[in-house]
Structure 1
Amino acid sequence: MQTFKALLTSASSSNQLTALGELLYQCHYSYSACGLGSDGTDRLVHLVQELQHSAASKSEGGTLYGAKITGGGSGGTVCVIGKNCLKSSEQIIELQKRYKKATGYLPFIFEGSSPGAGKFGYLKIRRRATPRKVDSYGDINAALAEK
């Protein structure tokens, strides 16, 4: 995580962005290997890699660097790291078209970022303890009675 944070906060060169993208790919494939991913997100990440490594992208200077599943788990959203330029937007639209052609579903594209929970705030939920009156052997006796 420290390497990822350092690359993210200081990514100014193509080499740094490439390293950041590689970390995203590694995180994604580790996540999927644990059984938490989905076919849809795996397909999207693979399509980003295809676009990144295509002959046209290499000759024109690539603008996409990596991708990984994001969110609460088991699919749905993929984060793609790319340069902030028209070429990246065009590649994302191409990715969307390829995904639709392969699956019949047109993925929704979110751009940019939100300020996050730091600006929005959060709710803290506290669990209330329910008082129980049990003698010192009550739990053991109850467990024995169930058998």
Structure 2
Amino acid sequence: MNYLIVSIVLVLLGLSYFLVREHRWRRRERRREQSIRTLLDEADALEASLLTCRERMQTLRGMLVDLPEEMTGDADEALAADDKVQAALRDLLQHRLWIKQHADDAGQAELDAAVEALSQSRRSMEQQLLRLDEMTAALREARAR
């Protein structure tokens, strides 16, 4: 009888251990999948911001044609960033290749660092877009005068 109780307790302990490990593994896998999804979403958002930036820069460039040179200094400086947008798009392509080739093997810390890097780049690009919007509004106002 004692052997039966000890055996049942050992089986229950083993089963509990297995269930806890399984739960932890599933939680880690869900976190990993979420990180990869977030990484891809951030890459998409950054690409959209970069393309919007390029479009707004072209609009701004078209507006500069009609204005005197002394009024276009800040805008010219912003438009000089077109090469930076191209470089950022190339870097983004490199990030996408890394995701495709290494996301399955990367550690959680690497995935988290990649997500943070893309998030930071996207936030920076959003600030640049706001700056371009402000310059465009100022140039429209100057043209209206």
More helix by share: 2
Query: Which protein has the larger Cα radius of gyration, Structure 1 or Structure 2?
Result: 2
More strand by share: 1
Q: Which fold has the larger relative contact order, with Cα–Cα distance below 8 Å and residues 6 or more apart in sequence?
A: 2
After TM superposition, the score normalised by the length of structure 2 is: 0.29
